[in-house]
Amino acid sequence: MVLLLVLISANEIVYRNSIPDHFANANWSGKWHSSEYYLVSGKVLTTIPADNYADFKSETLIYYNLWSLYKPGQKQILKLSGNFSEADINGNNSDQKSPLNTRNEAHLSSFKAKMSIGKGQYLEYDGMKEYDGVKICGKYDSSFPLDEGTFELSLH
């Protein structure tokens, strides 16, 4: 138990020390986990503009946890290109109306983003921004190495 706490604490220290100064104003942070490779996971830090329906590009820090079997304790700073669009879990177009009592519960923003790491690796993110606008959850696909997994971002 003590060893686990030491590892988690060390990971947090390495992560915090790896964040460049120009990420001080980053407004979204979170985590990612590979579904294909056991113990490959990490953290993410980025800035996503408040304008929900505009295309954006932002510098994004991808960090690999110390216990990750791939690039342990390393970071990569990449350009993320993405956008939000209207989505409705009832399957309605934006022109159709949801019943008034379920509209707030059903309305979500679809999040799509891409980044290229180089050497043939290309990542695509597909997720949903919850109605309250403080969390984005979804999945990612990587072209090389072939991988897929989940991610979760929170506004702070």
Digit-coded pLDDT (tens) for 1-53: 899 999 999 999 999 999 999 999 999 999 999 999 989 999 999 999 877 67
Digit-coded pLDDT (tens) for 95-141: 444 444 444 444 578 899 998 887 778 899 999 988 788 999 999 99
- Per-residue pLDDT band for 93 (boundaries 50, 70, 90) equals very low
Structure tokens at 39: 């113990």
Contact 108, 88 (CB under 8 A): yes
pLDDT recorded at residue 145 = 80
CA distance 151 to 33: 7
The residue assigned the tokens 């597909």 is 126
pLDDT recorded at residue 120 = 75
CA distance 125 to 111: 8
Question: Hey, what CATH class is 2-91+102-155 in?
Answer: mainly beta
pLDDT of 155 above 50 = yes
- Per-residue pLDDT band for 89 (boundaries 50, 70, 90) equals low
| pTM score of the predicted model | 0.83
Q: 106-125: string of b/e by CB count within 10 Å (b at 16+)? A: ebbbebebebeeeeebebeb
Three-class secondary structure assignment of the chain: CHHHHHHHHHHHHHHHHHCCHHHCCCCEEEEEEECCCCCCEEEEEECCCCCCCCCEEEEEEEEECCCCCCCCCCEEEEEEEEEEEEEECCCCCCCCCCCCCCHHHHEEEEEEEEEEEECCEEEEEEEEECCCCCEEEEEEEEECCEEEEEEEEEEC
CB neighbours of 141 closer than 8 A, spacing ≥ 6?
123, 124, 126, 147, 148
pLDDT of 54 above 50 = yes
- Per-residue pLDDT band for 143 (boundaries 50, 70, 90) equals confident
pLDDT recorded at residue 87 = 64
pLDDT recorded at residue 79 = 94
